[in-house]
Amino acid sequence: MRLAAIRGTKRAGGGDVRVSGDDNHDAALMASRRDLPVRGSLVIPADEIGEAASRSSGPGGQHVNKTSTRVTLRWNVTGSGCLTASQRRRLREKLGTRLTRTGDLIVNSDRTRSRARNRDYARARIVEIVSAALARQRRRKPTRPTAASRVRHRSDKTRRSKVKRTRRRAGPESDA
């Protein structure tokens, strides 16, 4: 019974029944099925984001060899119903190298030993990537140098020119 209690199962009626841990599993499952707010009115629906778990790489011993904690999220940009035509075009331009041939944006996360935390990191990364791609850069307003800076620049050039002139070797052509 002690081993069964540690594992979170209890023998009842001949079969194993979960008695603890279900709440955490359900909460993690619900967290993965939430809509993903990106910016402004743009929200990626939960049913458009595909999720897969796989074995993570790196150190971790038996834990890393037995559990699938690496999370891969996949979102189809070209087939998404939450984007306007201009947003879709902009994402395809900005994320061209990150998208697959079918237009999927794929984000992996294996930063932690927890699948739920890796899922959160991957979701945050999608938001970061999409919002950065949709952000419009401000146009640079061309400015002119001030009169004082032009005078300063000219005097610096004159001073530097004098220094270089004094370093020249006096030759026969300078005597004339």
The percent helix, strand, coil of the chain (3-state, each to 5) is: 45, 20, 35
The pLDDT, as a whole number, for residue 13 is: 46
The pLDDT, as a whole number, for residue 10 is: 43
The pLDDT, as a whole number, for residue 32 is: 58
Max Cα distance, the chain (Å): 117
Alpha-carbon distance of 37 to 43, in angstroms, equals 4
Q: Which residue has the tokens 């004159």?
A: 158
Question: Is the CB of residue 53 less than 8 Å from the CB of residue 70?
Answer: yes
Neighbouring CB atoms inside 10 A of 56's CB total 23
- The whole-model pTM stands at 0.63
Please state which CATH class domain 37-134 belongs to: alpha beta
Alpha-carbon distance of 100 to 85, in angstroms, equals 19
SS3 39: strand
The segments of the chain whose pLDDT lies below 70 read: 1-32, 171-176
The pLDDT, as a whole number, for residue 107 is: 94
Alpha-carbon distance of 163 to 69, in angstroms, equals 66
The pLDDT, as a whole number, for residue 4 is: 42
Alpha-carbon distance of 23 to 46, in angstroms, equals 21
Looking at residue 170, its amino acid is A
The pLDDT, as a whole number, for residue 12 is: 47
The pLDDT, as a whole number, for residue 93 is: 92
